[in-house]
A and B are shown apart, each in its own frame.
Chain A
C-alpha cells in the first residue's frame, strides 16, 4: 500500500532521511520508531505531501505522492502530534466543516464524535477541551472520510488509560476493515500490543524491521538475576557458556536463595538497536 524506495531528504547538507526503503502492506498496523532526529517526522511529512523528497520515490495506493498528490489526498487521514483545531468552534462544528470538505454527510461527524466518546462534549468550544479530548477530536477528524491509510503521530499522548484503549480499539477495527495505519509513538507497550510490524529508524536509516515479538526475541539479552543466601546479587548471562555453567554450578551447590529471569523488554531492544536514549 505504501512504498518508499531510496527515500532521501536533505536539509541543506544534513540527510534527515538517508536511503529509506520500506514497504507497508495493506491492512497492516505499522509502528515507526526512532530516537530524536532519526527521520520519523520527516518521513511522515513526505508521506503527507508536505516535504518533497530530495531523491527516491514514494507511492501511496499506487499513486506517486509528488506527481499525483491530488489523487493521494483523499486516500489518507492524518493525526498530527500537535492539535490543530478551530479553537472558537465547537467540536461538532470542527468536524462538520471538514465533513463538508470531504463531501461526507453531516451525520458522519456525529458518528465519529460518538466513536471517540466525545459526543457529550460535542457542543462545547474546543478552547475548553483538555489535551486528551483534543487528541481524540483529531482522530475523529481523520476518520471522517474512512480513509484507506491513516498516519498517526503519537495518537495516545496525553490520553488516560481508558481513552488510549478506545483509540487502540478504533485502530484495530480500522485495520480489520482493511485500512493501513502508520503510527509513531513513544509508548513501547503500545507498540508491542497493537503493531503488526515495527520499523526502527536511526540517523535516517532503517536499522530494524519486523514484528515486535520477533525483534524482542532476536535482540533481547537473556539474563538471570540470582540472590544468594547471604544477600549478594549476581547476574548470569545465559548467552555465554561461562554464564550458563556458573549458574548451573551455583544451583547444584544450593547457593541460590532466589532467582528471576529478566522479562523481554522492547524498550531494551530499542536501546540496543539505536544505541541512544529514546526521545
Chain B
C-alpha cells in the first residue's frame, strides 16, 4: 500500500465531487434541514413532540378575555408553550363563516354562556379534535381541566375564605385526579342517599397508582435526526459510491486506473477511505446541529463507524455487481426497499432472528439511542451486531471487487 497512490486516489474522489456538485448540494440540504429542525423545534422547548400525539398545535379560543383565560395564559407548562396558541374567536381563520383549522391542529373553544339572563353562570367548552382521534388532544385537555379546576377553586376560596372547601386534588397523579374526584362525588351522593352514617361506605375507595413500563414515548425529533444521520451515511456509501464507481467503469476510467501502478487493493482502499469519511463527517455535522453533546459520546462515534462500515460494504457490493451507473442506482434503491419490506414483515408478524442480519435493523436503534441520550445495555448488543455485520459486508465486498471490480 503506497501512500502517494492512496493520496492521489482520495484527492481524485474529492475533486470529482467538487467538479460535480450534486452530492455537495444534497449534503448542504441535509445540514440545512438539521438546522431548521434545531431552530424550529429546539430540544429544551419540546423534549420531543411524541407527547402531544397527532396534534402539534392546539388553539385555545375565547369569545372574550375573561379571568379564566388570563389564568390559562399564565399557567401553560413549558413543554406545551410552543404548542398552545391563544386567540380570540373573532380573529380565527374563517371560510364562509366557518372556522378552519390546519391539519394536525385542534382547538379548545371557551364561551361565556350568557344567552339566558337568569341562568346559572356557565362556561361552554367546545373541543375540536382530529376526526376519528378523540384522544389526540389528551395532553392539552389534561392541562386545561387541571388549570380550570385550580382557577375556579381559587376564586371560590377568595369569596368564601371562612368556608370549609374541599382541598385541591393531587394534580401530580396526572389525569387520575379527574377520576378520583368523580368517584368521590359518587361516594358522597350514595352515602347521602343512604341516609345513615356508617363506618364502611357502600362504594369503596378508589386507589389509582400509575407506573411507567420503563420505556419512553418515541421522541420524534430524535427520530427525525436519526433518519437524517442514517440517510447521510446511506447517501455517501450506498448511493454515491456505487453510482460513481459504476460511472468510472462505464467510461473505462476504472480500467485506466487498474492498468496504472495502482493495485486493486489501493483503488478499493481509497474508496473505502473517502466515502465513509464523507458520510461520517456529514452525519456528525447533522448530529452536532441537533445536539452538540452527542459528539462527546463514544457510543455515538462507534455507532457511526459501525453503520458506515456496513453501508460501505453494501455499497461496494452493489458497485461491484452492477455494470452500469443506472444499475447501481437501481441496485441501491432495490436493496433499500427489499430490506425495509423484510424488516416490516418481520416486525408486524413477529418473525424472530431474521432482522438481526440487517444493518438497517441495528443501525437506527443505536443511532437513535445515542442521539436521544438513552443508551441501555441492549444497545451495546445492537452495536456489536452492527459491527459484526459491517465486517461481513466489507469482507464480501473486498472479495468481489478483487474478482471483478473494474471489469
Tell me whether A and B are bound partners. yes
Chain A residues packing against B (C-beta within 8 Å): 48-50, 70, 73-74, 78, 80, 82-89, 93, 97-98, 100-103, 125, 141
User: Are the CB atoms of B252 and A80 closer together than 8 Å?
Assistant: yes
List the 7 closest pairs (A to B, CB-CB), nearest first: A84-B252, A100-B8, A88-B19, A101-B260, A101-B262, A84-B253, A84-B256
A98 interface neighbour in B20, B256, B263, B407, Cβ under 8 Å: B256
A–B complex contacts, Cβ < 8 Å, 5 sampled: A73-B259, A85-B251, A101-B5, A101-B260, A103-B261
Residues of B within 8 A of A80 (CB): 252, 255-256
Chain B 192-217 interface mask (CB, 8 Å, partner A; 1/0): 00000000000000000000000000
Chain B 1-45 interface mask (CB, 8 Å, partner A; 1/0): 000110111011001100110000000000000000000000000
User: Are the CB atoms of B16 and A73 closer together than 8 Å?
Assistant: no
User: Looking across the interface, which residue of chain B has its beta carbon closest to that of A99?
Assistant: B8
- Additional A-B contacts beyond A80-B252, A100-B7 (14; CB < 8 A): A49-B259, A50-B255, A73-B261, A74-B261, A80-B255, A83-B252, A84-B256, A86-B12, A86-B16, A88-B16, A93-B15, A102-B261, A103-B5, A125-B19
Q: How far is the CA of A102 from the CA of B259 in the complex (A)?
A: 10
Q: How far is the CA of A88 from the CA of B253 in the complex (A)?
A: 12
With A84-B251, A87-B251, A93-B15 as contacts: A101 and B257 at CB distance below 8 Å: yes
Residues of A within 8 A of B261 (CB): 73-74, 101-103
Q: How large is the interface on B (under 10, 10 to 19, 20 to 34, 35 or more residues)?
A: 20 to 34
Q: How far is the CA of A188 from the CA of B389 in the complex (A)?
A: 58
Residues of A within 8 A of B262 (CB): 101
Residues of B within 8 A of A102 (CB): 260-261
B260 interface neighbour in A73, A85, A88, A89, Cβ under 8 Å: A73
Residues of B within 8 A of A141 (CB): 256
Q: How far is the CA of A88 from the CA of B11 in the complex (A)?
A: 14
Q: Within the complex, what minimum Cβ distance (angstroms) separates B332 from chain A? A: 22
User: Are the CB atoms of B260 and A103 closer together than 8 Å?
Assistant: no
B interface: dominant SS: helix
Q: Within the complex, what minimum Cβ distance (angstroms) separates B107 from chain A? A: 55
With A80-B252, A101-B257, A103-B4 as contacts: A88 and B263 at CB distance below 8 Å: no
Q: Within the complex, what minimum Cβ distance (angstroms) separates A174 from chain B? A: 18
User: Looking across the interface, which residue of chain B has its beta carbon closest to that of A76?
Assistant: B259
With A103-B4, A103-B261 as contacts: A85 and B407 at CB distance below 8 Å: no
Residues of B within 8 A of A103 (CB): 4-5, 261
Residues of A within 8 A of B256 (CB): 80, 84, 98, 141
With A48-B259, A50-B407, A101-B8 as contacts: A89 and B19 at CB distance below 8 Å: yes
Residues of B within 8 A of A97 (CB): 8, 12, 15
Residue of A50, A80, A84, A141 with highest tally of chain B CB at under 10 A: A84
Q: How far is the CA of A124 from the CA of B252 in the complex (A)?
A: 21
Q: How far is the CA of A224 from the CA of B253 in the complex (A)?
A: 52
Residues of B within 8 A of A86 (CB): 12, 16, 251, 253
Chain B 257-275 interface mask (CB, 8 Å, partner A; 1/0): 1011111000000000000
Q: Within the complex, what minimum Cβ distance (angstroms) separates A27 from chain B? A: 23
User: Looking across the interface, which residue of chain B has its beta carbon closest to that of A93?
Assistant: B15
User: Looking across the interface, which residue of chain A has its beta carbon closest to that of B20?
Assistant: A88
Residues of A within 8 A of B5 (CB): 100-101, 103
Q: How far is the CA of A141 from the CA of B11 in the complex (A)?
A: 18
